[in-house]
Structure 1
Amino acid sequence: MAPTLPRLVVITDWRLPRGRLLEALSRALDAGPDVAVQHRHPEATSRMFLEEARVLAALCHARGNPLFINGRLDVALLVDAHLHLPAHGLLPSQVRPRLPEGRLLSVAVHDEAEALDARGADLALVSPVHAPGSKPGDARRPLGPEGFRALAGRLECPALALGGMTDERARALEGAAGVAVISAVLEAEDPAHAARTLLAACPPRAMLPVP
């Protein structure tokens, strides 16, 4: 059976205490199989990144939720996870032949050039739609709803909106198949409720088998 695409991706923030982060992720997964986790930790050593990936893989696999590994194909293969490609790195066309059948490939998209480079991906995380709450020093100009819609229209795959997303903003955003968030779920008083609220604001069209 072909995998289905998530409508909500929760990106890790390892600046949080480890126990708090894992508890928040576990509770977010209570919202159901439409929720995926993306393991991102650019400051980690290779050994630490792999150890964290194994912990997240055990959590996600036990619950039946997708896990995406940010930028590390070798780690994704080791922990039986999907892969997310950050900007300014390998292209989907370069990576796809090395992915086993059934693995999903998501990409980061910030502008038109990256939208073109996203060909061959299953899913795109388009950002920043609004100023991201977890990156107060991010100098990139937010795309806004119109900018997001324009980039999403250039993609050959579904687009998830990333950057300052709330359920109200998600509900009003045209062209989004879902959202990706960090603090909106991880720092919520009730991560499960936050995840369910975001899912309820997103259309279900992303939950289709990958061609």
Structure 2
Amino acid sequence: MRQHVRDSLKVYLVMGLEGHVGLSAYEIAEAALDGGVTMLQLREKNAPLPQVLEEGRRLRELCRRRGIPFLVNDRVDVALLLDADGVHVGQDDIPGSDARRLLGPDKIVGISAGTTAEANAALAAEPDYLGIGPIYATSTKEDAGAPIGTGLIREVSALRPDMPLVGIGGITASNAAAVIAAGGAGVAVVSAITKQPDPAAAAKELLARVTAAEQS
């Protein structure tokens, strides 16, 4: 499972249901997958639940047709209703061990960490991957906190080389390589794809930078 997850973390798109410059969320996702996105997470905090379920099913089916894992942020109940491939939980969400118990052993469980203590606690739950960040300053997530750089990725990858790590927070094509160099399996992005005029081109560029960093 972890090798499959590691491969799927290269360019991890985290998105809500908001469109941009004439594109709906679904069209953004479709273009991003065309460009090479390898995993997609639905993180929607504001839309009514019926809308989340309706549009979430369309995104799930899109990902399924492309063979790309589809995860839900925070809401294990929504992940179950959508038959998602997994869930990503933060420090203030349902504990990762409980998410695993509810979803079962065949689903992906990712956990966020921004400090050594948080990483150690998350590792104790044996997730399928850790999301480390915010790596750089970001305005996408209001409660993200101060940027931490790539040091924690380097630290955790040395401690647990078997654990796939993905960096998140302020990552763009120009700084993605540093995350891979520190030991990350990939980069998780929001606006670097969703807010771009050409999401497919943005995803393609990110994948190229990650692939080049892996080979260097």
Residue 188 of structure 1 and its aligned partner are, at CA, apart by 1.7
Q: How does 1:153-164 map to 2 (within 5 A)?
A: 153-154=158-159, 157-164=163-170
Name the SS for the 1:89 alignment partner.
Answer: coil
Q: How does 1:1-211 map to 2 (within 5 A)?
A: 4-5=4-5, 6=8, 7-16=10-19, 19-32=23-36, 35-81=38-84, 82-119=86-123, 120-135=126-141, 137-138=142-143, 140-154=145-159, 157-173=163-179, 174-203=182-211
The CA distance in 2 between the partners of 1:111 and 1:189, in whole Å, is 34
Name the SS for the 2:62 alignment partner.
Answer: helix
The CA distance in 2 between the partners of 1:71 and 1:121, in whole Å, is 14
2:19/2:28 contact within 8 Å kept: no
Amino acid at match of 1:181: V
TM value normalised by structure 1: 0.83
Residue 95 of structure 1 and its aligned partner are, at CA, apart by 2.2
* Unmatched runs of 5 consecutive residues or more in structure 1: 207-211
Amino acid at match of 1:129: I
* Unmatched runs of 5 consecutive residues or more in structure 2: none
The CA distance in 2 between the partners of 1:204 and 1:177, in whole Å, is 13
Residue 105 of structure 1 and its aligned partner are, at CA, apart by 1.0
Residue 36 of structure 1 and its aligned partner are, at CA, apart by 1.1
What is the RMSD computed on CA atoms of the aligned residues?
2.7
The structure in which a higher percent of residues are helix is 2
Point out 4+ residue stretches in structure 1 off by more than 4 angstroms.
Answer: 151-156, 203-206
Residue 107 of structure 1 and its aligned partner are, at CA, apart by 1.2
Residue 133 of structure 1 and its aligned partner are, at CA, apart by 4.3
Amino acid at match of 1:158: P
Tell me whether 7-16 or 65-74 shows the greater mean CA deviation. 7-16
Residue 16 of structure 1 and its aligned partner are, at CA, apart by 3.1
Decide whether aligned partners of structure 1 residues 152 and 31 sit closer, same or farther in structure 2, where only a CA change above 3 A counts: same
Name the SS for the 2:77 alignment partner.
Answer: helix
Amino acid at match of 2:136: H
1:13/1:40 contact within 8 Å kept: yes
Provide the aligned length of Structure 1 versus Structure 2: 204
> Percent identity of the aligned residues?
33
The CA distance in 2 between the partners of 1:163 and 1:54, in whole Å, is 26
The CA distance in 2 between the partners of 1:20 and 1:67, in whole Å, is 18
Residue 181 of structure 1 and its aligned partner are, at CA, apart by 0.4
TM value normalised by structure 2: 0.82
1:3/1:104 contact within 8 Å kept: no
